[in-house]
Structure 1
Amino acid sequence: MKDRTAEHRERLDSHVFVCTNNREEYDCCADANGDETLTAVKEWLRERDAFWSSVSVAETGCLGLCSEGGAAIAIQPRDEWYSDVQPEDVPGLLESVFGPEADQVGVPPEQPADD
């Protein structure tokens, strides 16, 4: 076993997790375009040369945000969670997180001001 924690932390800024979970009895991301949303995330990052450089993308099971309205996405370590995401929502969502050209990758999100 190799501990590659330090190496991985140096290289990556964020992980985008897209749920594609399939559940027979309940609403699920698989039935709400989860695979297409995952593809849209990868394509958006590839177009900006940010895929597998400083942002990784992973298909995941249930994130606990299941609905019939779209897939669930979590962006870590930014601790941002989204539900009901459709493929056409991906550009706006990723622009808001990483900037229009992924030029905010590596820039920490603004912290809320203390009251």
Structure 2
Amino acid sequence: MKDRTEEHRERLEAHVFVCTNDRDGEYASCGAVGAEETVAAVKDWLRERDAFWTAVSVSETDCLGLCSDDGTAISIQPRNTWYSDVTPETVPELLESEFGPDAAAVRGEN
């Protein structure tokens, strides 16, 4: 086992967790309301700004406890911010509010 905590902390400013949980049942789940498309939108937005995996990592996760019929749940750590009802169309607004329009702040350019 190798502890790579410091290496990871030096490289990454944030980690975006996108719920892709899909379940059968009476309750909404992120996987059933476009989670895969939302993950793709998050990655695309960060790639366009050269921030994906350089300053911000993205992971799919199971339930974050915020599922609804209106979109996907997202958590951004270590900022401890939580969003529900995120759609591919609202990803740019969300990420711009968190990281700035060009993600320059997370790339250490501010």
Alignment TM-score, normalising by the size of structure 2: 0.94
Q: Is the 1:16–1:55 contact (alpha carbons within 8 Å) kept by the matching residues of 2?
A: yes
Q: Quote how far apart the aligned CAs of 1:103 are.
A: 1.3
Task: For 2:105 and 2:65, locate their aligned partners in 1 and report how far apart those are by CA, in whole Å.
Answer: 28
1:30-109 superposed matches below 5 A: 30-105=31-106
Give the superposed CA RMSD.
1.0
Task: For 1:86 and 1:6, locate their aligned partners in 2 and report how far apart those are by CA, in whole Å.
Answer: 33
Q: Is the 1:45–1:51 contact (alpha carbons within 8 Å) kept by the matching residues of 2?
A: yes
Task: For 1:105 and 1:6, locate their aligned partners in 2 and report how far apart those are by CA, in whole Å.
Answer: 17
Q: Is the 1:18–1:34 contact (alpha carbons within 8 Å) kept by the matching residues of 2?
A: yes
Q: What fraction of aligned residue pairs are identical, expressed as a percent?
A: 66
Q: Residue type matched to 1:71 in 2?
A: T
Gaps of 5+ in 1: 108-115
Q: Quote how far apart the aligned CAs of 1:106 are.
A: 5.8
> Matched residue pairs, number?
107
Gaps of 5+ in 2: none
Alignment-derived partner of residue 15 in structure 1: 15
Alignment-derived partner of residue 113 in structure 1: none
Q: Residue type matched to 1:92 in 2?
A: E
Q: Is the 2:42–2:91 contact (alpha carbons within 8 Å) kept by the matching residues of 1?
A: yes
Which stretches of structure 1, 4 residues or longer, exceed 2 Å deviation after superposition?
A: none
Alignment TM-score, normalising by the size of structure 1: 0.90
